[in-house]
């Protein structure tokens, strides 16, 4: 007689995780995403981030929410507003997430020229001017902000000097 191998049989190769949502049994997230017209990656990311199943399938995307500009003009989405002002949606959302006012975020000129205020309340004509006043490069400041540091820490954390070998 032949000894049984520890490998699963071919029929067991694709194990589906079945779950129930609103009385219907789904074999996987793809089926659920298709039924509720939600992109599969968005659904997976929402569930990973801790949303309930009902929140993950029903909540509209940040891009799909109605928004209003400084003048009171209403737009169906942030993408529509960005198109109207001639800037990229990613640029607009980046600026808003970093605390730019709606007025400054919608400016078409380079974001480095937008007036900024430091954590002490001092005004600077640009981020580069603010960085120069604190004695750090704009690239270092920008990378620290991208890593999640506060403005205060990004500007005041000492710059490590590399040892010459």
Helix and strand numbers, DSSP H then E, in the chain: 9, 6
Please provide the average confidence, as pLDDT, over all residues in the chain.
80
Distance of CA 60 to the CA centre of its chain: 15
Cα distance between residue 43 and residue 15, in whole Å: 20
Residue 152 pLDDT: 92
- Looking at the predicted structure, is the pLDDT value of residue 74 above 60? yes
Residue 136 pLDDT: 93
Residue 156 pLDDT: 92
Residue 8 pLDDT: 45
- Looking at the predicted structure, is the pLDDT value of residue 15 above 60? no
Cα distance between residue 121 and residue 106, in whole Å: 22
Q: Which tens digits make up the pLDDT trace of 25-53?
A: 888 888 888 888 888 888 888 888 788 88
Residue 132 pLDDT: 93
Average confidence (pLDDT) over 144-159: 89
Q: Which tens digits make up the pLDDT trace of 85-134?
A: 888 888 888 887 777 778 888 887 655 567 888 989 999 888 888 999 99
Cα distance between residue 34 and residue 44, in whole Å: 13
User: CA nearest 103: which of 59, 135, 72, 147?
Assistant: 72
- Looking at the predicted structure, is the pLDDT value of residue 9 above 50? no
144, containing H or E segment: helix 138-146
């Amino acid at each position: 007689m032949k000894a049984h191998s520890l490998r699963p049989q071919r029929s067991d190769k694709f194990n589906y995780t079945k779950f129930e949502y609103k009385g219907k049994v789904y074999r996987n997230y793809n089926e659920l995403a298709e039924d509720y017209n939600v992109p599969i990656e968005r659904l997976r990311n929402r569930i990973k981030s801790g949303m309930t199943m009902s929140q993950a399938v029903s909540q509209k995307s940040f891009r799909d929410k109605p928004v209003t500009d400084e003048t009171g003009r209403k737009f169906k989405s942030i993408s529509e507003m960005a198109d109207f002002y001639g800037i990229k949606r990613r640029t607009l959302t980046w600026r808003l997430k970093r605390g730019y006012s709606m007025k400054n975020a919608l400016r078409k000129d380079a974001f480095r020229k937008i007036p900024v205020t430091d954590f002490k309340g001092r005004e600077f004509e640009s981020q580069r001017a603010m960085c120069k006043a604190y004695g750090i490069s704009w690239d270092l400041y920008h990378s620290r902000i991208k890593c999640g540091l506060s403005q205060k820490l990004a500007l005041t954390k000492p710059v490590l000097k590399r040892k010459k070998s």
